[in-house]
Amino acid sequence: MSAQSQEREFYRPTIDPDRDLRRVGASNTKRNLKLGPNVAVLVIDMSPIFVDEWLFPNADKGVGVACANAIRDFLIPVRELKLPVIYLKTAGHEVTVFNRSTKKADEWCDKYGGSRADTPAAAAKNAEIVFSCVGNDDDVRQVILEENGILRGITDGGIIVDHTTASAIVAHEVSEAARGQDVGFLDAPLSGGQAGAENGQLTIMVGGDGEIFARAKPVMEAYAKAITLIGPVGSGQLAKMVNQICIAGVVQGLSEGLHFAKCAGLDAAKVISAISKGAAQSWQMENRWQTMVRDEFEFGFAVEWMRKDLKMALEAAAGNGANLEMAKLVDGFYAEVEELGGCRWDTSSLIARLEK
């Protein structure tokens, strides 16, 4: 895809049913979680999420899970999933789907099986652990706190794990409401990009009570390689802001380096081969330099989502006194990328504004 393209294509994984179903079945012998067998999957506007076989490649039998989600680019859109319900049923789950469009939910059930719930509350009923991943603070409030939200359906003693990248403020709001009805809450934003989601290798930064974390962690291990309890509620969201601040600086530096190499007439492949073995090495360099020099930006987290995250970091910094000069600068550069038509390009598209 060139920088002039505005439509985003999503990666379509190659799925081997025999291989992947064996992988799910084999993993079920490793743990014995004593939870109910119900999985309620809330799919809001047919967006990507944990019903995906790549997000629960090692899901255990007997795990009650509810998932709520909105558009997050690093996950695969629901319409492109091949065998989600097959994987969940193989793991011993019953699947309930919710979508604000009943037509889409019915089409999903007709195609993949399972049943449809009319509300997030209904989908969360009898689920002992609810995983949500929506778009922003208002979406979190709508899906969890409002009249037909998750808190109206989840059982007492249940746990809500919110994977949304949102503010620490809304994390505290939800935690307080959940505590009032004997429901645990963890704010647990994700990192790892599309590849991490597809391969069950995400990183999760968690804020919340240690006992609640200990109960939820074995389930999260089905789709994450690293799960860290940072501190009390809100700490996960603040840690994710640190993550995005660091990524912004790394991508801008890589963009300028590649742009400089091109202007200097250097062979980018040879340059990267040399410097990636030293102190300049980074995940972004290893995984994005080739697509960046080819002007291809359809891989992973979208610019508009990065700007949302940086906005929250800048707002938090205004409250705690942190000086985020670089983050503010790069946020402005991403605004320029959006003006080029790159709202849905991935974050490596910072190089596009240098070569326009």
The 3-state DSSP composition of the chain as helix, strand, coil percent (nearest 5) reads: 50, 15, 40
Q: Name the residue with tokens 């390009």.
A: 345
Cα 210 to chain center, whole Å?
A: 22
> Following CA atoms 278, 284, 289, 293 in sequence, which dihedral angle do they give, to the nearest 10 degrees?
-130
Phi, psi of 269 (to 5 degrees): -60, -45
CA 180 vs CA 145, 332, 356: distances in Å: 12, 41, 54
Residue 336 tokens, joined: 């320029």
Q: Is 69 strand, coil or helix?
A: strand
CA 299 to chain CA centroid, nearest Å: 14
What SS3 class is residue 181? coil
* H helix runs in the chain, sequence order: 17-27, 84-90, 102-112, 120-124, 137-140, 168-179, 193-198, 210-220, 235-263, 268-275, 283-293, 303-320, 325-339, 350-354
Residue in the structure block whose two tokens are 């558009």: 71
- Write the burial class of residue 201 (CB in 10 Å: 0-12 exposed, 13-18 middle, 19+ buried): middle
Cα 66 to Cα 36: distance, rounded to the nearest angstrom: 12
Which residues carry out catalysis? 240
Backbone phi, psi, residue 3, to 5°: -65, -15
Of residues 235, 204, 232, 200, the one with CA closest to residue 217: 204
